[in-house]
């Protein structure tokens, strides 16, 4: 009796091994695409939430200088805009001088979306060169003024992922935040 394998047995074993290997490669590819998709979606959600955490406190800080005007100058009631103009009693872009409640000075600021750079920018309304970047990679920013002292802020980010066939897919993520401004 001979010990060893015939050529047919070796070929069948090699074919089975290649089939298992091909299946494993396919599973690995799908798992890596799913992992990239999940990572991109989480990153997109994180960017939107961080942007909201930076924008909302500024809007809640809005204060009317007197009873003749409102704290929110733009957008008008029942309208939507890609920027918001508001007044505050402190200089938000410079830390000096400190706020003095006996003689408050009010500043007019704007939070706007720069579509070319995909940034949210806080800037002095009368001196646009004084500006600070609040968030990056924001695909859309809308503010709706639903009543005298209420705003709805909508931020949108996008996650671009290459699928298993090599095509880019865009997955949007939107966050809406209602802001009530005391008056």
The answer to the question of residue 121 being in a domain is yes
How many distinct structural domains can be found in the chain?
1
pLDDT for residue 1 is more than 70? no
Peptide bond into 48 cis (omega under 30): no
For the stretch 45-82, pLDDT in tens is 999 999 999 999 999 988 888 877 888 999 998 899 99
Q: Where are the beta strands (DSSP E) in 93-136?
A: 107-114, 119-124, 131-136
Contact indicator for 133, 120 with CB cutoff of 8 Å = yes
User: Which H or E run contains 155?
Assistant: strand 150-162
The structure's pTM equals: 0.78
For 128-146, the pLDDT digits (tens) are: 888 999 999 999 999 999 8
Structural domain span for residue 100: 35-180
Average pLDDT value over all residues in the chain? 89
Residue 15: inside a domain: no
Answer for the pair 132, 121: CB distance below 8 angstroms, yes or no: yes
Domain assignment of residue 19, yes or no: no
CA proximity to 108, closest of 135, 90, 121: 90
Query: Is position 166 within any domain?
Result: yes
Identify whether 62 is part of a domain: yes
CB neighbours of residue 149 within 10 Å = 16
Handedness of CA 60, 61, 65, 67 (dihedral sign): positive
102 inside domain: yes
Residue 159 pLDDT greater than 90, yes or no? no
The answer to the question of residue 114 being in a domain is yes
- Asked whether residue 83 is domain-assigned, the answer is yes
According to the model, what pLDDT value does residue 183 have? 65
How far is residue 144's CA from residue 3's CA, in Å, rounded to a whole number?
82
Burial 93-127 (b: 16+ CB within 10 A, else e): eeeeeeeeeeeeeebebbbbbbeeebbbbbbbbee
């Amino acid at each position: 009796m001979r010990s060893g394998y015939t050529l047919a047995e070796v070929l069948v074993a090699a074919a089975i091994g290649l089939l298992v290997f091909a299946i494993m490669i396919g599973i690995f590819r799908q798992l890596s695409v799913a992992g990239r998709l999940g990572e991109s979606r989480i990153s997109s959600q994180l960017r939107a939430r961080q942007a909201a955490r930076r924008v909302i406190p500024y809007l809640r800080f809005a204060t009317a200088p007197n009873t003749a005007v409102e704290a929110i100058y733009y957008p008008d009631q029942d309208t939507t805009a890609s920027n918001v103009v508001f007044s505050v009693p402190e200089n938000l872009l410079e830390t000096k001088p400190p706020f003095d409640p006996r003689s408050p000075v009010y500043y007019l600021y704007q939070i706007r979306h720069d579509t070319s750079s995909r940034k949210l920018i806080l800037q002095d309304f009368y001196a646009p060169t004084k500006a600070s970047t609040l968030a990056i990679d924001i695909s859309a920013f809308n503010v709706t003024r639903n009543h005298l002292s209420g705003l709805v802020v909508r931020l949108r980010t996008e996650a671009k992922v290459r699928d298993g066939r090599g095509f880019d897919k865009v997955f949007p993520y939107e966050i809406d935040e209602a802001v009530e401004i005391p008056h």
